[in-house]
Amino acid sequence: MNIAVEHIAIPSPDPAALKHWYERVLGARELFNDGRQPPMCLLALPGGGWFEIYAAEGAPENRGNNKLAGFRHVALRVDSLEAAKAELERHGVKFTEPPRPAAGGGRVLFFADGEGNLLHLVERPEDFKL
């Protein structure tokens, strides 16, 4: 059996605004839009991976708490943490803590999307192997 992650779902109180944030800030490209209001859409990141954004029925408390049970963040692999951070800052992203060591090697840097969902950049060494 060959299993891979295809997409991550992000229910949103304002799917159109969150879609726009991912397009504007991360350079995502729309693959599918159901044309409804609010929309359900699939977005592709420039380096691979998809997000499905659709209308939420409610919002969890403390969505930015990385210690709660369940899925907590999406890691976005980059070649250079500094270059990616600078680019995201140009798009208004705020970073509240410094980079820290990544499990297995490298460094990570957390930030939030336009609705407070946790994301982090992960930079691995050139010779990285697990």
Q: Give CATH for domain 71-130.
A: 3.10.180.10
Superfamily, domain 1-57: 2,3-Dihydroxybiphenyl 1,2-Dioxygenase, domain 1 (3.10.180.10)
DSSP for 46-115? Answer: TTS-EEEEEE-S---TTTT-TTSSS---EEEEES-HHHHHHHHHHTT----S--EEPTTSSEEEEEE-TT
- Partnered with residue 50 across adjacent β-strands are 7, 44
Every domain of the chain with CATH number 3.10.180.10 lies at 1-57, 71-130
Model confidence, pTM:
0.90
Cβ 51 vs Cβ 7: under 8 Å: yes
Segment 78-130, tens digit of pLDDT: 999 999 999 999 999 999 999 999 998 999 999 999 999 999 999 999 888 87
DSSP state of 30: E
